[in-house]
Amino acid sequence: MSKTILTVDDSASMRQTIVFTLKEAGYQVIEAVDGKDALQKLAGASAVDLVVTDLNMPNLDGIGLIKEIRAHQKHRFVPIVMLTTESADDRKQQGKAAGATGWVVKPFRGEQLVAVAKKLLGS
C-alpha cells in the first residue's frame, strides 16, 4: 500500500507540480487549496502519512495549519514539511516552533522533494 501525502498550496500550478512529482514517485496525493481546506480533507481521510504545506495562504496559513494539526490526536505525529518561498531564519523558527518537521524552499527540484518524502516516510 502506497503512502498518502496531503499537499496544501493556494497556487494551482504549484499543486499540479507537487502532485505530478509525488505521484511519479508512487505516492497517493490529496490536494488542498489552503489550511482550512486541508483540515477538512484531513478529517475525511482515513490516513495521511505526510503533509506538505505552503506558508503564505488565505484563510489559514501554513503556521496556523501546523498548529491545528498538532492539536489533534489523530494527526499529532504526522511529519509536516513547509514548502515555501520563505527562507528567513525567523520564519523557519516559527515553523519549527509550531511543529514543522522540515523546510524546503521554492523553487525546488522534484528529486529534492521526493528525497525528503522518502526520508520522512522511511520508504
pLDDT value at position 122? 87
Determine the Cα–Cα distance for residues 4 and 55; give it in Å rounded to an integer. Answer: 20
5, 113 from 81: Cα distances, Å? 11, 10
| Residues with Cβ within 8 Å of residue 94, at least 6 apart in sequence | 63
Return the pLDDT at 63: 95
- pLDDT for position 1: 59
Residue 14: partners with Cβ closer than 8 Å, 6 or more residues away? 54, 106
Output the domain CATH number for residue 25. 3.40.50.2300
User: Angle of helix 110-121 relative to helix 12-24, nearest 10 degrees?
Assistant: 60
The 3-state secondary structure of 96-111 reads: HHHCCCEEEECCCCHH
Q: Classify residue 119 by its DSSP letter.
A: H
Per the structure, the complete domain to which residue 24 belongs is given by 4-121
Tell me the CA end-to-end span of the chain in Å, nearest whole number: 11
Q: What is the pLDDT of residue 73?
A: 86
Q: What are the pLDDT tens digits along the chain (123 aa)?
A: 589 999 999 999 999 999 999 999 999 999 999 999 999 999 987 889 999 999 999 999 999 999 999 998 888 899 999 998 887 888 889 999 999 999 998 988 999 999 999 999 987
Per the structure, how many domains does the chain have?
1
